[in-house]
Structure 1
Amino acid sequence: MITQSKQQKMEITRKWEKHVAVFAFPFASHPSSQLKLARRLASAAPTVVFSFFNFTKSNRVLFAEPGWDNILPYDVSDGVPKDHVFEGKPQEDMNFYLAVAEEESRRGVRVAEKDIGLKVSCLVVHAFFWFAADMAEEMKIPWVAYWSAGACSLSAHFYTDLIRQKSAQLIGSGEPNEEIVDFIPGLKGVRLGDLPSGIVLGNLESLFAVTLQKMARNLARATAVPINSFQELDPDLTKSLSSKLHNFLNIGPSNLISKEKTPQKVVDEYSCISWLDHQKPSSVAYICFGSVFTLPPHELVELANALEETKTPFLWSINKDSTKHFPNGFLERITANGTGKVVPWAPQVQVLNHVAIGVFVTHGGWNSVSESIGSGVPMICRPILGDQHINSWMVERVWGIGSRIEGGNFTKRATRCAFEQVFSVSKNRNKRLEALKDVAHKAVAPNGSSDHNFKTLVEVVTGVTQHPTT
């Protein structure tokens, strides 16, 4: 654990009036998403100190440069036994952590309270940490359960028991993946195969699946449930979840929030923006499957071949190790003819907002989907796991602002068809994109729905009523 000096404790006691504990789910992009929330809260409540709990390695990256002096990083154990050799089992590292998460959270609170000299007055945790309901009840303080994704995936998890009960007979049929169901409140129709794994399909006994089920059963005990979306995107889901949860608050999309204390300077070390400056408007396919997920090698080959065959200009952000699977001579050819650019990293938000971008080829992760909506860019989705399948379903079937790759995998034919479809003029799709983009920006603007909801969240976290500004 990171601790503070005795002198710092004295300064803390004099300076800060309340102490809020923030627990990140320390995998993938969750810590950075939750730190963004902590920064927003810290800016809105400068007399409150926030202790931020996360893995050591992640904290070193997130807190590498000085920032908010009322956010203090604390390290938690990953639960991995000393000298353990990983065997490549699914969710192996996550299972180790989940086994110790509650114990580590309770220990972390005790350490931070001693260091800072203030009792914790509120728990702001990732919604996965269902045990925080018991902790908050014992401590007689509010529990804020943060969902870093959209309302569609939260709704699917929240109604896990209902879905399992209603779909029991369907699961025994030949093709349960293809069944369209209408019994999930707020979701007019969704394919069972697009629900996150662990709800009705996949390993329902895994530690992660059990954790999510316990989350669903305890979420109604939370004082507030903020999510990284805007209520106008999913009005039916918002209405449904609001009737079941206390203070169900859409406070995003976080990528459109520009109120952080010291906005990060845009880094473009691979000259993506200058390359895009030389491309025609709405002509380029931006391709990125996140920093965690990689496509199977044969799909990389099919996608690359389709790009060459269709002569589609593209900017592809992909880790260097995966480029070895490209077709022979691919990188040399696209560099020579100038049709494409392959980089290990790109400033995604700035790229998506560039006039040259005509489509975003994505895995359908929530951050990518919300960034695409905020930029008004249509999507071609190839979901891999987690909430990506239901997000992609919403993109194609509910919001009508993109499509999923036919057959679920990249083939040269399916990719060619997807490009032809998305680059054809679609007035209805473009109208929907512009409308959602406009509403998203209005939601986070002063007095917008997300701005209003965030003020409510600040009241819950600080216990102080915010006075409206004039």
Structure 2
Amino acid sequence: MAPQSSPLRNPHVAVFAFPYGTHAAPLLNLTIKLARAAPHVSFSFFTTDKSKHSLFSSSSSNHNNIPPNILPYVVSDGIPDAHHFPSPHPLERVNLFLRAGPRNLKEALRQAVSRANERVTCVISDAFVTSALVVAQELGVPWVALWTSYSFSLSAHLNTDLIRQKYSCANDDDDDGGNGSLGFVVPGFSKMRIQDLPDGIIQEEGGEETVFSRMLDSLGRVLPQAKAVIVNFYEELEPPSLIHHLRSKIPSLIYSGFLNLSLPILPSPPSSHTHDKTGSLSFLTKHAPNSVAYISLGTVVAPPPHELAAMAEALEQSKVPFLWSLREDLRAFLPKGFIERTSNNGKGKIVNWAPQTLVLGHGCVGVFVTHGGCNSVSEGVSCGVPMICRPYFGDQFMASRMLEAVWEVGVKIEVFTKEALMKNLNVILVQKEGKVMREKARALKNIVLDAAGPKGKVEKEYFKSLVQLVS
């Protein structure tokens, strides 16, 4: 795709989503904010057909919120016809999508340029869609990357080579690096450990190389080439040493705040309980303040059957009231009669889905049992709720460590066992340690609310500079 020479009319921004996990929604939310702030700019939003349906259908939460200067387009998922997936894990789908590369993006982009009759003036993409840099370079326009996770994981990927070198030396020499500390990266990393790193940073001997792993390897080289990198986080939550280090790698670093949230999260009015078809909010009002465990472990990876059974046993024996968002197909792994017993005695409620921000903002919720996904952690922090994290992959380990060791508003569980969950529910809901944790969680919530307000850096500085960039 050669640099464009057609006359410039209005600015036209091409936005490329990473259509897996919860990556696409924050990027769409960012695009909506930009489109409202810059109504003269056209935005073409590219994602796969399945992702487009989820984000733009009449049943989506954003359906009535999308301004007219955003148009969605379909980009191929790269999956061959009649392809069989041996596993439900999304990694193979991710590899096929990434393998399709710049050619796939450029083909979809031609349709948008033809329809809009406006040449592209800027490219924004999820940081994982590194092919967007190639497209932007060929068009001769700036590329802006969105990092949908937190700054700790971004710094880890920017320092992959250093971490690998030091970790290898630590193993060889058995020096202080062997204890797992990542303090040698930047001072702000002193609480992080080797075992908290996202997948792929430490190479396992004999590990299979994939398109996805090669993309992760390239981030430290690719992201510094962006015109700007947007981080789905608040600068006010960062250790100053980490901010300084990130800016040494990426001078144009822009903090967007939590893109999955509209803050402050207001308490749900009684009228909303009537419209809550799940009955979650009505269930919560029957219990004492700070007494209910809300459980939601994400939609990408499910806990193994033995962990689901252990969780149920812990909840029933501890007699802690609980609201559990759990898919129908996973309920077969719960102990026989568990659902009926806990429902009949009023202690438990299991739903297919819950209005998570309203649930976490309810005063009766005392602890959030989560997988440590970034959106969930953002919601828990913004509502001032202590968390129990059981991470499964990716940046969930660093997010869980951040909650436990940096902010001290949660605990991490390696594997759900009956004893471990009972112990940590007791710590947070009953013990003095939990009271201290709750106070710190509320203080952290206040920092977030101030950062999200009109005097925070996002509104005063960062968002304005981003609007100027795309305009």
Is 1:180 aligned to residue 187 of structure 2? no
Aligned-pair CA distance for 1:234? 1.5
Q: Which moved more, 1:234-243 or 1:208-217?
A: 234-243
2:129 matched residue in structure 1: 129
Structure 1, unaligned runs of 5 or more: 1-12, 260-264, 463-470
Q: 1:222 aligns with which of 207, 221, 226?
A: 226
What secondary structure is seen at the aligned counterpart in 1 of 2:278? coil
Is 1:166 aligned to residue 166 of structure 2? yes
Give the counterpart letter for 2:162 in structure 1. Answer: L
1:456 matched residue in structure 2: 465
Q: Distance in 2 between matches of 1:89 and 1:166?
A: 35
Give the counterpart letter for 2:291 in structure 1. Answer: S
Q: Is the 8 A contact 2:382 2:449 kept in 1?
A: yes
Q: Distance in 2 between matches of 1:378 and 1:204?
A: 37
Q: Distance in 1 between matches of 2:79 and 2:135?
A: 24
Q: Label 1:57 to 1:83 Cα distance change in 2 as closer, same or farther (>3 A).
A: same
1:414 matched residue in structure 2: 420
Q: Is the 8 A contact 2:180 2:195 kept in 1?
A: yes
Q: Label 1:83 to 1:173 Cα distance change in 2 as closer, same or farther (>3 A).
A: farther
Alignment of 1:45-84 (within 5 A): 45-65=38-58, 66=63, 67-84=66-83
Aligned-pair CA distance for 1:138? 2.8
CA RMSD of aligned residues (A): 2.3
Q: Distance in 2 between matches of 1:101 and 1:446?
A: 40
The CA deviation string for residues 43-63 of structure 1, in whole angstroms up to 9 with x for no partner, is 111111100000112212211
Q: Distance in 1 between matches of 2:196 and 2:382?
A: 24
2:214 matched residue in structure 1: 210
Q: Is the 8 A contact 2:373 2:399 kept in 1?
A: yes
Q: Is the 8 A contact 1:358 1:378 kept in 2?
A: yes
Q: Distance in 2 between matches of 1:51 and 1:253?
A: 22
Q: Is the 8 A contact 1:24 1:31 kept in 2?
A: yes
Aligned-pair CA distance for 1:293? 2.1
Q: Is the 8 A contact 2:227 2:252 kept in 1?
A: yes
Alignment of 1:10-21 (within 5 A): 17-21=10-14
Q: Is the 8 A contact 1:193 1:201 kept in 2?
A: no
Give the counterpart letter for 2:300 in structure 1. Answer: V
Give the counterpart letter for 1:218 in structure 2. Answer: V
Q: Distance in 1 between matches of 2:440 and 2:224?
A: 33
1:10 matched residue in structure 2: none
What secondary structure is seen at the aligned counterpart in 2 of 1:153? helix
Q: 2:411 aligns with which of 387, 403, 411?
A: 403
Q: Label 1:450 to 1:136 Cα distance change in 2 as closer, same or farther (>3 A).
A: same
Give the counterpart letter for 1:40 in structure 2. Answer: K
Give the counterpart letter for 2:259 in structure 1. Answer: S
Q: Distance in 2 between matches of 1:170 and 1:350?
A: 46
Q: Is the 8 A contact 1:316 1:342 kept in 2?
A: yes
What secondary structure is seen at the aligned counterpart in 1 of 2:336? coil
1:43 matched residue in structure 2: 36
2:281 matched residue in structure 1: 273
Is 1:389 aligned to residue 408 of structure 2? no
Aligned pairs, how many?
442
Q: Label 1:276 to 1:22 Cα distance change in 2 as closer, same or farther (>3 A).
A: same
Q: Percent identity?
A: 42
Aligned-pair CA distance for 1:173? 8.9
Aligned-pair CA distance for 1:321? 0.5
What secondary structure is seen at the aligned counterpart in 1 of 2:128? coil
Q: Which moved more, 1:278-287 or 1:127-136?
A: 127-136
1:257 matched residue in structure 2: 262
Q: Distance in 1 between matches of 2:425 and 2:219?
A: 39
2:432 matched residue in structure 1: 425
